[in-house]
Amino acid sequence: MNKLKYTIEKLNKEYAGQGAAEYILLFGGVIVIAIAAILIYKSYFQNSANKLNASSDMDKLRENISA
């Protein structure tokens, strides 16, 4: 009985892999968010006919807001 109690106490004190597991989950979440953002904005970057132009985009945004 004493050995079982010692083993349970020892298992409760082992936190060596906890930090690594938390970092893995954190990085996994960041990767999932990055992939979702890429998929959402994919059509914006793929369409080569509409070249990226920040000033033109801002003008269109201002027109839409004022309308």
Question: With the CA atoms of 40, 44, 47 and 49 taken in that order, what torsion angle do they form, in degrees rounded to the nearest 10?
Answer: 170
Give 57-66 pLDDT, tens digit per residue: 788 888 889 8
Give 6-16 pLDDT, tens digit per residue: 777 776 666 66
For the chain, percent helix, then strand, then coil, each to nearest 5?
A: 80, 0, 20
Task: State the pTM of this model.
Answer: 0.48
